DNA sequence: ACAAAAGTGTTGACATTACACCCATGC
DNA sequence: GCATGGGTGTAATGTCAACACTTTTGT
């Protein structure tokens, strides 16, 4: 197919559904920002932005999340492209959505050049967003729910040392289900890459819980041997 | 974020991984074309093309597959976006990949304005393709393998009336596994939306197999009731 | 009658669920 | 010593995998 210039006048954007888990109030939260510029200046949206023609999307996602949260390294995966012709008032803008997971305690929310007043919202109290960002959010949340059961993503949302009650509550909150405590723990006991740190939780009111650690190296060795993660 | 024109000089393309199942030689096949234009004129590629700024991607996919195969309605789903900055020599072209499933007997391969000499290739004898189309093909095939187990996609690849041996062989070929005949058939027996047509296969050498039909309406009622498809 | 593929049930192994009490700690 | 959440095993059930013979048809 010949490529007349008229094809080269679309724009690419990324939008990031950034999730964090708040142990304090046991809520899954999503990061929303107020748009600094038109269209929809001042209104709530997912963090994101247009991508330079020579910029990689991974780079764009890193920059966006880092500029808002201050975090350097975090889990991210592409969800899918959102391509409705009329999704953006300024022209043809295809948005590639990313699911990002961060640890709340590493986050330092700051205004950036394109995102003011970033804030965490419990996923079930999310206000309406601009563009098709409600749809993107729903799709990303479904992906998170799906992937949480088959990939070790929970550990991206917790501190490197965590307790089993914390882990179980995280699963229950994100998946909106209940797990039997003993069955849940038995399943984890088979996962050799979840290690007892021999430490216990500090500063808690009653019996302190043991702290565990997710060993990424052991997990990737296990995975190469064909062992699958499943909750 | 302000939107200077420099953002609006990327192009969007779709690429279609079109799969069909050939009962005759029991192969899963993928549709490849020779490119009519530069870059890579004459070389093998996935069917696809640049998308007009006001054109929906679903439309683009339909046009492409119809122009090559003559088929009007077929199953398709987005796989994901391929976005490497250097994937296309003519500039920034983001490709959105689609998985398409067609019934071989409905197909009439014809040259089109952008695709010459379309041909079916057994997926395991696929030659190397241009751009990142090998990568796209791998990803789409993995998606097909994954979805075949949890969505009723096999019926998109078979005639509306099919036999259980055909269905089982299709699963075995696409997933590259073996199933126990009795276990496989028991699983299907629980699916009320797979109906006995009371007809049998004609013109076959030995004992004729019963013909079944996938009832889409019954399936979507079942699914609404929460029943999940699984092989 | 024979060759070839279609069709059919049962059993054991394993995985999943349901369920109730003792333990460790801070106050 | 009491209040609270942390931590532990067993039995029943359901699911999945293994397995061999009879039936139907065309020639």
CATH class assigned to B159-224: mainly alpha
Q: Considering the entire predicted model, what is its pTM?
A: 0.95
Delimit the CATH 1.10.10.10 region(s) of chain B: 159-224
| Per-residue pLDDT tens listing for chain B (231 residues) | 444 448 999 999 999 999 999 999 999 999 999 999 889 999 999 999 999 999 999 999 999 999 999 999 999 999 999 999 999 999 999 999 999 999 999 999 999 988 999 999 999 999 999 999 999 999 999 999 999 999 999 999 999 999 999 999 999 999 999 999 999 999 999 999 999 999 999 888 899 999 999 999 999 999 998 889 999
d(CA B128, CA B116): 17
Delimit the CATH 3.90.79.10 region(s) of chain A: 4-148
How much is the average pLDDT of A67-82? 98
CA distances A156 to A112, A207, B129, Å, are 24, 26, 37
| Residue A7 at interface with chain B, using a CB cutoff of 8 Å | yes
Is there a contact between B91 and A10 if contact means CB atoms under 8 Å apart? no
Work out the minimum CA distance from A164 to partner chain B, whole angstroms.
30
Strand D nucleotides with an atom less than 7 Å from a protein beta carbon: 3-10, 16-20, 23-27
Quickly list DSSP for A153-205. Answer: -HHHHS-SEE-HHHHHHHHHHHHT----HHHHHHHHHT-TTEEEEEEE--S-S
Q: What is the pLDDT of residue B6?
A: 87
Q: What is the pLDDT of residue B114?
A: 82
Is there a contact between A51 and B2 if contact means CB atoms under 8 Å apart? no
Residues near B225 by beta carbon (within 8 Å), at least 6 away in sequence: none
Task: Give the distance, in angstroms, between residue A201 CA and nucleotide D8 C1'.
Answer: 19
Please name the CATH architecture into which domain B4-148 falls.
Answer: Alpha-Beta Complex (3.90)
CA distances B152 to A153, A231, B34, B38, Å, are 28, 25, 32, 39
């Amino acid at each position: 197919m010949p490529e007349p210039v008229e094809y080269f006048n679309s724009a690419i954007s990324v939008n990031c559904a950034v999730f964090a888990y708040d142990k304090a109030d046991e809520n899954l939260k999503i990061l929303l920002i107020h748009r600094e510029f038109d269209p929809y200046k001042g209104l709530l949206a997912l963090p994101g932005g247009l991508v330079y023609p020579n910029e990689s999307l991974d780079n764009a996602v890193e920059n966006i999340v880092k500029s808002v949260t201050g975090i350097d390294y975090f889990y991210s995966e592409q969800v899918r492209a959102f391509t409705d012709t009329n999704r953006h008032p300024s022209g043809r803008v295809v948005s590639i959505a990313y699911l990002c997971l961060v640890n709340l305690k590493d986050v330092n929310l700051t205004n950036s050049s394109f995102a003011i007043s970033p804030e965490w919202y419990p996923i079930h109290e999310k206000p309406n967003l601009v563009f098709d960002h409600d749809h993107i959010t729903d799709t990303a949340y479904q992906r998170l729910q799906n992937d949480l059961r088959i990939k070790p993503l929970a550990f991206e949302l917790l501190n490197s040392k965590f307790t089993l009650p914390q882990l179980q509550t995280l699963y229950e909150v994100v998946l909106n289900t209940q797990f039997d405590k003993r069955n849940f723990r038995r399943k984890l006991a088979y996962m050799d890459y979840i290690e007892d740190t021999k430490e216990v939780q500090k500063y808690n009111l009653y019996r302190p819980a043991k702290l565990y650690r997710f060993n990424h190296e052991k997990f990737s060795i296990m995975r190469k041997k064909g062992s699958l993660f499943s909750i």
